[in-house]
Structure formats: structure tokens, C-alpha cells
Chain A
């Protein structure tokens, strides 16, 4: 098996072409001076990024308030999700690795559930439950609580339901590698409990905290299935993209996709750089 056959090598090459072809065409047709993201090539343009709409009747994505608000909506979801995922994930990781309490195995098992539940079902179950909650509270308090109705707040909760599992797993994996005698040594040298946490434990965890935060940010930004069920009047980016793709795409979607790819590539390489410190 040590000498791969020509056929095998050919297959590998074909595979990687297959893997990158869709991304490549998305990127290329973002610059096509045509109202449709299709061949033939009609020349290079940046109109779909920064155009004012005078050429194709639609402004470029960076000039279009629809795209800009939808990106803002995505950030309004992704940032709280990432922050909460890191904070709660750290607490959960501590429970998993350090604490002893009855029912811990059950807790560890239940924590994994969200990963095996399809995202659509997480979405509808949270939608249904929070609607009932909102209806109940409305009858009781005589006011409607907006946060429990479809909207950004509910999307944050829906995404947290499974992103928390992933954040917890990332942080717990790092915590498991921690040598507890480091904490004891710091304590022995006169540090207070909070100082030990601040100067020893958290610095050790920090690559995992940054990593979990970036992964959470990315997963939130790109989540579609759960978000679709919980979306209200202000759609995040994937929902808007989906709507436009159903209607018949313009190269504006290519342009926004390319921007997302660049941003994601940046985040991913940041993550790769921080996780290198792990090993």
C-alpha cells in the first residue's frame, strides 16, 4: 500500500477539484459583469460589491441596506452566542472535569444529545415551547414578551442549544489536560483562589476559550436549519441568502458569499493559529 497507483493519485486529484469547484465558481462569478451568475464571461467588475445600482439595477452588496442590515442581524446573534457559549461552556467543562455530584454520568450523556437532534427539530421544539411560555405569560401578566416570540433573541437561544455542547467539549478537552498540581503550586506560593484562577487556570485554558469562541461565532453565523424555524422580522444572513437563492440569484449573492468566505477563512486561520499552541 506504500506505493499508490496512478489511478489512485488521479482519483485524489479529481476529488480535490470536485471539492473546490463550487467554491471557485462562486468566487469567480462575483466579478462577472452580467446580471446573472452564469457564463459566458462578460468582463471583470466590482459592481456587485460597491456598485450604486446604476448598471444592473441593483446596488452592490456593500452599498445595499438589505445586505448590511442582514449582516448586522447575524452579528447581533453570533456575538452573544459566542460569549455565552464560552462562559457557560467553561462552567460546564468544570462540572464535567472537576466536580463530583450525583447524576454526573447522566448529565455528561444528556449534554451530548443536542448533537444527535436534527437542527430543524431543535428549532421547532424551541419555537413551540417558547410560544406556549409566551402565551402563558401573556395571559398571566397581560403583556406580550417579545423575546419569546420568533426573532433574534429566540435565534440566540436556539443556536445556543447545540453550540453550547460543542463549546463545552472543546473547553473540557483542554481542562482534562490540565495538571492540577499547577493550581496547588500557585496556592502554595501564596496566591488566593481567585488569583490562582486568573493567573494559572484561565491562561492555560485560554487557547481553548478563544477556539471555542471562534467556533461558536462561525457556527452561529452559518447556521441555517435551526435559525430558519425561529426567524422573525429581522433575518440573519443565511436566511436572506436562502430567500434570494430561491427567487433566482444575482451575482450579489456571489459577492456576499465571497465576503463570507474571506471572513471565515480569516477566522479559521486565526483558530488554526491559536490551536497550534495547544500541541
Chain B
């Protein structure tokens, strides 16, 4: 198992003055894995990445790549290459020269470097672009050049620092798929950092959710989404309804919570002694025109539609119900009988105990 581990981070701490930017992080990434570090800005993910690349030294802890400690190894000697947030393509060089740059630094002959760069450009779908200026490329093409520039060096690890941030929405959606395909094609280990949970969910094999310098949870996208281990993960990954209230009763992992405005809800998880937080996904909320259509869900309520948020397949409703201080958000299937519902209409909604995650507040 350990022989196929490409990157191992062991209890890494980075201190700036008295502030711990990265506070005791440990994880490992397997060969060929697409690993994402997801967190809000300022959570320490950029610092962590710069330590892996070699631009910062950890205050303590170890960074190992294929079993070899990287402490004291400068960035230009590490088998790690980085795709920068700004892409950092060299504007004074052509596309081909950009891709060949790392090879010539290694002492590969000009002719050989050019040949390999041309072949790499072909593989990323930029055949014949070698002589273009980098300024003459589109956003997506620049992205591919930046990745080709790293991959041509056959690094153990490619680091990607929110490279899709600068693209517009349509292109970003497209590049998510393309990046994933490139990674699969080259079978290179990718470590990707982002604050965009959808990028992380779509592309990654595993995701680490980072907050205030430490990892909240590491797991597959499905695990994080369905079984968040902390309130932070539950609210940061994916859309969710979040309520807090008093713990009314708890037996085993079944918890009943009374919301401040009166409603009582039932969920599963670790309740707090007095206060608890509960989360339920909008798609877990069933809708119906009457009580009966909700079946035997443990949580059943009646309310009125306060807003219809139409967004095609992602459409949802906001529902005001007595006993809830905040409206509940529920996915509105556009193929169902409720598709045409309007504001003010009475509605029944409910969810199963299993769908509601409870954490101590």
C-alpha cells in the first residue's frame, strides 16, 4: 500500500508570527489519485499547497513524496509541478517554448525538448499551436498549455491552485470535465485546491475539507455529501437547510430537537447537551398536496410557498411554515405534479429521520 503513496503530509504546521496558517495537517495521496483540498478563502489551503511545491517551509512536520522527505529541497528540485491560479504562462515566449521550458532547464537538448513539447501539445488537443503567442490563446487553451507545461516533465505530482477561477461559468463547467479526462489519460496524481465545492465534487476521487488551518474531514465526494462528520462540512459541501434548537430528547443516535419557534424535528447524529444543529438537504425534503402523499416520514409539516426559485432542473421552493424561524428550502422536480405551483399555495412537506444530520452546537 505504502509503495503506491505519492504524497504524504505528516503533521505539518505553518506558523506566521503567532498565527497558525496550517495547524497540524496529515494526509496521504495515492498514485493516480485526484485529490482536492476544499475550503473557504483564508483557510490555509494556499499555504499548504505552497509548502508542497516548495515555496514555503513548514514550521514543523514532514512532507514526503514517494517516501522521500522534501524538507530543505528547493522548489526547482522537487518532482512536483504547479498550475498557478493566474496560470503564469510566460508572455515573452511562444506556446511551444512555454511547454519546453522545464525540459531545457533539465538540460534536454533544444531539438528533443521541442519534439516532446510538440507531442505534448498534440495530446492536450493543441496541435499546431506551438508557434503562437500565449496572449493569442483563449482561456481554455491557456489552461491546457499551463497543464501541458507541467505534464511534459512527467512529475510525480501536479498541484493545481484554483486554475478555473478566472474562467467564465460555461467554460468552467467544460474545463471541469476536461481536467478530469486529462488526469485520467495521463494517470498522474493531481492535488487540486479550490473554494468551489462543485469543482471538487465533480472532479475528485477524494476531497479534504479544510477550515481554519486544519482538515475537517477527508473522504470521497459521496461520503462528504451524505455523511458529513462536522457541521462545517455539512454546511460547506452542497446546499442544505440548517436549523438550530434545543435538544429535547436523545436515545442512541436518534435525536429530537425543538426549534426556537416551536416546531419539533427528528434526526440522527450526536446531539449536544443543550443545543443542537440539524441539517437536511433540499432534495431530501418530500413535497405533497396533502398529508397522505408524504407517506410515513417522521417529520411532516404544512406551510405556504413563499418563493419559487426557478432554475431548470435545479429549481426549488422556499416554504414558510409555523414553527420554523427560517423558510425551508426543497427541490421542486420540474417533471412532477407540483411543477406549476405558485407563491402562496398551501403545501405539505416532510423528511425521514435518516435524512437529517444532527450535531452538537
Residue numbers of A with Cβ under 8 A of B are 179, 181-182, 184-192, 195, 199-200, 203-204
Contact of B81 among A179, A182, A189, A192 (CB under 8 A): A189
Closest to A206 in B: B92
Taking the complex as formed, is B255 at the interface, i.e. its CB lies under 8 A from any CB of chain A? no
Taking the complex as formed, is B314 at the interface, i.e. its CB lies under 8 A from any CB of chain A? no
The answer to whether B88 touches A184, judged by C-beta atoms less than 8 angstroms apart, is yes
Nearest 9 Cβ contacts at the A-B interface: A189-B102, A185-B88, A190-B105, A181-B88, A203-B92, A191-B105, A181-B84, A188-B82, A190-B76
Q: Which residues of B contact A185 (CB under 8 A)?
A: 82, 84, 88, 90
Q: Which residues of B contact A199 (CB under 8 A)?
A: 90, 101
Most buried by A among B53, B76, B80, B84: B76
**A249 nearest CB across to chain B (Å):** 49
Q: Which residues of B contact A195 (CB under 8 A)?
A: 105
12 additional A-B residue pairs with CB within 8 Å, beyond A181-B88, A190-B153, A200-B92? A181-B86, A182-B91, A184-B55, A184-B88, A187-B76, A188-B82, A189-B76, A191-B101, A195-B105, A199-B90, A200-B90, A203-B92
Per-residue A-contact encoding for B76-109, CB less than 8 Å = 1, 0 else: 1100111011101011100000000110011000
- A182-B153 CB under 8 A given contacts A187-B75, A188-B82, A199-B101: no
- A190-B102 CB under 8 A given contacts A184-B55, A203-B92, A204-B92: yes
Taking the complex as formed, is B149 at the interface, i.e. its CB lies under 8 A from any CB of chain A? yes
- A179-B86 CB under 8 A given contacts A187-B75, A204-B92: yes
**A191 nearest CB across to chain B (Å):** 5
Q: Which residues of B contact A179 (CB under 8 A)?
A: 86, 88
- A69 CA / B54 CA spacing, docked (Å): 58
**B65 nearest CB across to chain A (Å):** 14
Closest to A200 in B: B90
Per-residue A-contact encoding for B48-69, CB less than 8 Å = 1, 0 else: 0000011100000000000000
Q: Which residues of B contact A184 (CB under 8 A)?
A: 55, 75, 82, 84, 88
Closest to B50 in A: A184
Categorize the interface residue count of chain B.
20 to 34
Closest to A190 in B: B105
Q: Which residues of A contact B82 (CB under 8 A)?
A: 184-185, 188
**A135 nearest CB across to chain B (Å):** 51
Q: Which residues of B contact A182 (CB under 8 A)?
A: 88, 90-91
- A199 CA / B105 CA spacing, docked (Å): 10
Per-residue A-contact encoding for B173-210, CB less than 8 Å = 1, 0 else: 00000000000000000000000000000000000000
- A191-B85 CB under 8 A given contacts A186-B90, A199-B101: no
Interface of A is mostly: helix
Contact of B85 among A181, A188, A189 (CB under 8 A): A181
The answer to whether A189 touches B153, judged by C-beta atoms less than 8 angstroms apart, is yes
**B90 nearest CB across to chain A (Å):** 6
The answer to whether B76 touches A191, judged by C-beta atoms less than 8 angstroms apart, is yes
- A236 CA / B358 CA spacing, docked (Å): 87
- A179 CA / B92 CA spacing, docked (Å): 13
Q: Which residues of A contact B55 (CB under 8 A)?
A: 184, 188
**B7 nearest CB across to chain A (Å):** 16
Q: Which residues of A contact B86 (CB under 8 A)?
A: 179, 181
The answer to whether A192 touches B76, judged by C-beta atoms less than 8 angstroms apart, is yes
Most buried by A among B77, B85, B105: B105
22 A–B pairs (Cβ distance < 8 Å), ordered by A: A179-B88, A181-B88, A182-B88, A184-B55, A185-B88, A186-B90, A186-B105, A188-B53, A188-B80, A188-B81, A188-B82, A189-B76, A189-B81, A189-B149, A189-B150, A189-B153, A190-B106, A190-B153, A191-B101, A192-B76, A195-B105, A199-B101
Q: Which residues of A contact B77 (CB under 8 A)?
A: 190
- A190 CA / B105 CA spacing, docked (Å): 6
The answer to whether B92 touches A189, judged by C-beta atoms less than 8 angstroms apart, is no
**B228 nearest CB across to chain A (Å):** 34
- A190 CA / B79 CA spacing, docked (Å): 9
- A204 CA / B106 CA spacing, docked (Å): 22
- A203 CA / B92 CA spacing, docked (Å): 7
Q: Which residues of A contact B88 (CB under 8 A)?
A: 179, 181-182, 184-185
Q: Which residues of B contact A200 (CB under 8 A)?
A: 90, 92
